[in-house]
Structure 1
Amino acid sequence: MAEKSGKKIELEVGDASLAFRVSLEDYHNYQNAFMPDNKVAPSANFLKRTVESGSKDTLQDYLEQGLTVELASAVASEFKPDLEIRVKK
């Protein structure tokens, strides 16, 4: 089975490591689904879609602890490059 393309992102959460592979399409789908009154389901879908196979069980443990939005936010934040944007006057 071929490895999924995208940016590899690794998180250290407590004593565990989680690895994700995020493509631009994954990121855009997450952004499009994320709404002020609907955060948990899009976040869980994003994480489950991008988690690498060796981290699935650990991710599920953290999702069951209510850390879904926090983990998705960390992965999404790491996916985007650091970029300073200013509005010219």
Structure 2
Amino acid sequence: MKKQITLVIAAVTIGFTMTTDDYNGYLNEIMPDNKVAPAYNLVMRTVDAEHKEELRSILDTSPGAALQIAGLLTQEFAPSIAISVKK
């Protein structure tokens, strides 16, 4: 699956292209003591080429932005579904 996602970050519209491989890779990289690097890697790997420098500037000046952006990307790519146990 491949999905185009557009976010407005600090008043700048930035496009991303997420794939199932990107999503799964991000989840596999997250460790209890390593969350920032996988988030940064995800957003930089999936940002559209024409927005890469703008995004890098935002990430360099906004601590925690990579985690916030990664959270929104993963939420939009794989939204929650209703699951219950039938007894």
The TM-score with structure 2 as length reference comes to 0.88
Partner of 1:6: 2
RMSD value over aligned CA atoms? 1.4
Residue identity in the other structure for 1:7: K
**Displacement, 1:81?**
3.5
**Displacement, 1:82?**
4.0
Report whether the alignment pairs 1:71 with 2:60. no
Query: Which one of 20, 23, 27 corresponds to residue 16 of structure 2?
Result: 20
List gaps (5 residues or longer) in structure 2: none
**Displacement, 1:24?**
0.2
Residue identity in the other structure for 1:75: L
Residue identity in the other structure for 2:70: A
Sequence identity percentage: 36
Partner of 1:50: 46
Partner of 2:58: 62
The TM-score with structure 1 as length reference comes to 0.86
CA deviation string 1:49-88 (max 9, x = no partner)? 1110111012112211121101111111100134111122
**Displacement, 1:36?**
2.2
CA deviation string 1:5-42 (max 9, x = no partner)? 82100001231011100110010000000122111100
The 3-state SS of whatever aligns with 1:42 is helix
Partner of 2:29: 33
Instruction: Work out the CA distance in 2 between the residues paired with 1:62 and 1:77.
Output: 21
